[in-house]
Amino acid sequence: MNVSDYLAGAGLSVRPLPEALSQPQGRILAHLRRPGSVDLACTTDLRGEIGLYETARGEPPLFVSYYTTGTPYEDLAADLRASLDRHGLPHRIEPVASRGSWVANTGLKARVIQTVWNESDRPICWIDADAAILRTPSFLMGNPFDVAFVRRDGWEDISYLIYLNTTPVVGRLLAEWVRLCDEHPNVWDQVLFSLAWFRTARDGAMASQWLNSGISRTPRPRIRDLRDQLFYYPTRRKIRPFIDQKQASRKLKAYINASERPRNEIGTDDLSAGYRVALASYDFGFDGRLDAVVSGRD
Q: Which of 1-5, 54-58, 174-178, 273-277 has the lowest mean pLDDT?
A: 54-58
**φ, ψ for residue 153 (rounded to 5)?**
55, 25
Which of the pair, 269 or 25, is modelled with greater confidence?
Answer: 269
Mean pLDDT for 198-220 is 94
CA angle 124, 129, 133 (to 5 degrees): 70
Domain 3-258: CATH superfamily is Spore Coat Polysaccharide Biosynthesis Protein SpsA; Chain A (3.90.550.10)
CB-side neighbour CA atoms (13 Å) of 106: 25
Q: Tell me the β-bridge partners of 216.
A: 243
Mean pLDDT for 124-153 is 96
Q: pLDDT tens digit string along 5-57?
A: 999 989 999 999 999 999 877 899 999 999 999 999 999 999 999 999 998 78
pLDDT above 90 covers a percentage of the chain that reads 71
Query: Is residue 61's pLDDT more than 70?
Result: yes
Closest CA to 61 of 138, 2, 7: 138
Tell me what pLDDT residue 262 has: 56
pLDDT above 70 covers a percentage of the chain that reads 90
DSSP string spanning 71-117?
STHHHHHHHHHHHHHHTT--EEEEEE---SSHHHHHTTHHHHHHHHH
Mean pLDDT for 223-244 is 90
Query: Is residue 106's pLDDT more than 80?
Result: no
Query: Is residue 253's pLDDT more than 70?
Result: no
Sign of the C-alpha dihedral computed for residues 176, 178, 182 and 188 taken in this order: positive
Pairing of the two strands 15-16 and 243-245:
unpaired
pTM: 0.92
Mean pLDDT for 195-204 is 97
CA dihedral 176, 178, 181, 184 (to 10 degrees): -50
The residue ranges of every structural domain in the chain are 3-258
3-state percent helix, strand, coil for the chain, nearest multiple of 5: 40, 20, 40
Query: Is residue 251's pLDDT more than 80?
Result: no
DSSP state of 232: I
Query: Which amino acid appears at position 26 of this protein?
Result: G
Mean pLDDT for 239-263 is 65
Query: Is residue 108's pLDDT more than 70?
Result: yes
Reduced to 3 states (helix: H, G, I; strand: E, B; else coil), residue 240 is coil
